[in-house]
Structure formats: C-alpha cells, structure tokens
Chains A and B, each alone.
Chain A
C-alpha cells in the first residue's frame, strides 16, 4: 500500500514531466477528450433541461388530478376503434357523478374548441377555448394576474363571460386592463372577468393555459359546437395524493353505474392521470438520452483512441527509460501504474478543460432551455475522463510493463 502511494506519486510526477516535455502533442491529444467531455456534459445538461421542462409541464396538470374521458390518453392496449365506439360522456353524466362522488375535492366538466378571439382589430387565431364550470379553478393550481374566474352564478347562468390565459391577454391587451372589456368569438360578445397569471409551462403546447381562454361550458354548446357530437372530460381533483387511488376506484364504480354497465361488461370510459403522460414523456426522454449517449460516447471513443495511440508512441519512445526503471527494481505493476497514471492525467486535464467549455456553453443553452450544469454532471465528467484515461492507457501500459529489461536497455 505504501509502495503503491509512492509509485502513484512518482507516476504523477513522471506524467506531468512527460506532458510538459511534449506540450504540443499533449494539447492535440487532449483535444479529443476535451471535445468528448464537453459534449457529454452538454448533452446530459440539455437532456436534464428537456426532462425538467417536460416534468414541470406535466406537473402543471396537477398530480392529484383524474380525468374521466371517453378516450384513453396514453393508450397501448385498447384498439382505437373500440374507444371511438364508446358512448360520449355528457353533461348529464357529469352532473350525476358530481352528485354521487363523495371523495373528490372538486369536479368540473371541460370541453374544448379551436377558435378565434378578437378584440377590436386584434385577433388571436386557433386557440383552445375551454368550456367549464366555476368549479374548474379548484381542480387546478391556476392564479390570476387580473380579476377572477367566473363565479357559480355566471357559470350556472351561462353568462357571456370569459377568462383569458396570460399569453392571449398579452396579445389582445398589450397594455393590460383586460377586465371589463368585451372580446368577440364568432361574432358573440364575451366580457372579460379575469386574466390568468403566466404559467410558463411551454412543453404543453396549445394545452398550456397561457394560450387558452375559458367560458362557461353551456356557451360552447350554444355558440360553437353541437353538444351531441362532443364528449366532455370530467376533471376530478382528489383531496390529496393519498386519496388519488380511492377517488379513482370510487369514480370507476360510480361511472359504471351511470353508464349502466353490467358486471361482465368492460368500462366504456377511461380514467386518465398525469402518470400516463409521465410514462410517455419518460419514454421519449429515454430515447433522447440513448441517442445522446451514443453520439457523445462516439466522440469520447474517438478521443480515447487518440490517447491510446499517443500512449503507444510514448511507450515506444521511452523504452530505454522503462529499461532503466526495471533494471533498478521497478516491478511490472509500477510500470503499468506509471503509464496508466500518465494517460489518466492527460485525460483528466482534458476533462477539466472540457468542463470549463461545457459550463460556458451551457450558459448559452440556458437562454432557450432553462438548465444548468449540475454537480452530478461535473462528477460524471471527471469520472468519465479518468476512466477513459485508464481504459485507453491500459494496453500501452501493459506492453510497457512486460518489456524485457535487457532488450529495453539496449533500445536506442
């Protein structure tokens, strides 16, 4: 053990001396590792950023939420046509469920429609118009920058009121003061009662509440859509995360009763959860990760081959030195350790330089994908560069270690 430490120190000393003696060569060799480590760190940082964005996007759905729907959102087992043939979920179903369900914190129906909203000469096209009830707000974590959600009276009465997502409001009312104004959808006037605070979960695309507007649900059917052609979604929020399963079981029982299913009939509805979405996202992120790993792995591999090559050259050049060391009593292990140490040091230096590059570049990435280099990425980079050095240095070091001392000494 003591020997090992002395030899390691000697190995480090030799390594630094050898690197100093061949500056240009060392720099060029290290470049491969610098690029490899930079790409590994950047890739892992970018993937983490993507993952974070997805996760925050999903969690804006609320982890305690259930969505009773005709459609199964993340479906791999039920044939599509079977889902299509299911009976639509209606407002009647919703009302019955709300009456019977004891466990939920809040229940609200939703139905959506693509449409255009205008204010004077300003137009926002193709946004999602959600129809719902005043209870909807309790099934979400939304907050307001202006005004409020429509109340029970407005909801039940099907008043022409509207709540705007932050981005929609910004487009229609660039200087604010949306509340009290009247916007138009298909020529019908709606009075703005509230504007949502910005949610900023960009991954959800059009389903981002920032890009939506909300009406009492009756208005959707009255002005925009035939009620009989549309299936609604029942949004259910459990009291807390422990209650999600119980609430779900209760919902299955109640829905089966409402839908009049016999004991031997399959459910003709699905209870969706963000978990399903999470699974899909995790799969996607997994694919990105594998692709990223493969690409970065490739660049590291190229770097490692460079190191191996230069270490073989180094061993060849220093055959005489190896002979001297062996002649005065260096064991195979010491020579092996010396060259592996040298290779690891070169790679570690490359890795540290790569890390600096990665941190700088990640600041640029951060401009469009919120992320930062994490401690585990730093550790990963250091571990990877040392490991690369050890692995690519092994074969050259081994040839050095088993050199015959007499022949090595004779080498000029």
Chain B
C-alpha cells in the first residue's frame, strides 16, 4: 500500500522578478515499510521535497496524497495535526528546545497531541530508552553530545508512533563514527517495520536504504531499488 503518492509536484519561489523552481515536476510513490534515501547536489531541491512530504510546506502545483488523504489542500491546523500524529521529523541541526531537558523535548509532540501527563512521561521514557538514553533523561541539549542530541531528536520523532520518519541529513552534523551509530539506529527502526525517508550527501549512508532517489535541478534523475525489502517478523509498525 502506498503511504505517499505525489503527482507532478512543483515548488516555485518568486525571488525578485525571477522564478526559482526548487522542485520542477516530481511524481513519486512510496510504500509502507520502505526505506528511501534521497541524494543529489546542493540546491537540487531535496529539503524542499522533504518539507512538502513532511507537511511543513505546501507545493505550488500538484497533488500530494498521504495515506489516501489529499493534503495539498489542507489548511495550517490540519497540516499541524498530520505532522503531529503521522510524521516524525529528524533534522540535521537536531532542533531541540535548548531550555528543556531530553525528557521534555521528547514529550512535546504528545503534549500537542493531548496525551495525559502520566502516559506522556511513560512513552517519552520508553522512547528515550529505545534510543539508548535512559540515563540522560534530565540532561539539557547543551549537556549532551551531538550524537546524543540526534538520538533525543529521533526519540521525539518516534514517540507519537508516526506512519513515517523523515530525516533531512541526520548525520550531516556528526562525525563518521557517530553517524554510523545513528544509521544503525535507523536500521533498527526500519527493521521494526517503520517507513523511513532520509536525505544524505554520502553514498555510504545511502547504502543503508533499499531504494535510492537521485534528484537534480528539481527533477528526479534516477530512482533505483538497491536492496530487497526487509520483512519484519511481526507485521506492522513497531510498538515503541
């Protein structure tokens, strides 16, 4: 079943008198449980595509169907709800709240989802334990290493049990070793049945994915399956 279907999506920015086609014409289908890496040179439109897929942004043209729902016509609040419930976003720069500890950062999506305090704490702790940070719950971001911060961000993305995890250069700010650790975590998440879309510049990072999508100048240049789908023992998404 396709979790994502986009048809002839374009994103056009007006810069002065000039039009910038960040995305020219992109059509794409992504299955439930897929692990997709998006690659391409700088400025090719990877982040723009991710933002649209993550419902952070809306396309100028085209149709976006998420889980069978047309989100290209949704308003701000409806998109916020989708982001909250269906999408887990992991950023290159972590984007944690600096004044909140790890636990509260992970709790945050659940607050906006209206989950009760006790359940929130419970689930946030579980998610932190899952990424190996059970002993760092009350550390603020500036008391954590880069890799640990990204783990907190991943825990935050997982805590709502989203339909899809989007990661825009999640290892971009990390050294190779730490990056590999984070990728191992993504692998684990994938093997538990989650759908992952990941942007990267590095071939060795992209190799973790089963499908690699190459973008250039706002167009899909190449779309290839590089691995067989991993079939998890239990069906469905993980119970994190």
- Which A residues contact B (CB, under 8 angstroms)? 2-3, 6-7, 10, 17-18, 21, 320-321, 323-334, 402, 404-406, 409
Contacts and interface: CB of A to CB of B under 8 A. Distances in A.
Interface string B152-174: 00001000100000000000000
17 contacts: A6-B111, A6-B114, A6-B116, A17-B100, A21-B99, A320-B95, A323-B95, A325-B108, A326-B56, A327-B95, A328-B83, A328-B108, A328-B109, A331-B77, A331-B112, A405-B56, A406-B57
A332 B76 contact: yes
Specify which of B80, B96, B99 lies most central, judged by the most chain A CB atoms within 10 Å of its CB: B80
B80 A331 contact: yes
Nearest to B57: A406
Contacts of A333: 77
B51 A406 contact: yes
A326 B97 contact: no
B95 A7 contact: no
Contacts of A406: 51, 56-57
B89 interface: yes
Given A327-B56, A328-B83, A328-B109, A409 B97 contact: no
Contact of A329 (B57, B84, B99, B116): B84
Interface of B: 51, 54, 56-57, 76-77, 80-81, 83-85, 89, 91, 95-97, 99-100, 108-109, 111-117, 156, 160
B99 A330 contact: no
B55 to A, nearest CB: 9
A7 B99 contact: no
**Closest 7 A/B residue pairs (Cβ):** A329-B84, A3-B114, A331-B80, A328-B109, A329-B112, A329-B83, A331-B77
Contacts of A327: 54, 56, 83, 89, 95
A323 B56 CA distance: 10
A21 B100 CA distance: 12
Contacts of A320: 95
B177 to A, nearest CB: 27
Specify which of B96, B100, B111, B116 lies most central, judged by the most chain A CB atoms within 10 Å of its CB: B111
Given A6-B114, A326-B80, A17 B95 contact: no
Contacts of B56: 326-327, 405-406, 409
A159 to B, nearest CB: 87
B77 A7 contact: no
A354 B156 CA distance: 41
Nearest to B86: A329
A243 B66 CA distance: 83
A334 B114 CA distance: 11
A402 B89 CA distance: 20
A331 B78 CA distance: 8
B97 A7 contact: no
B97 A324 contact: yes
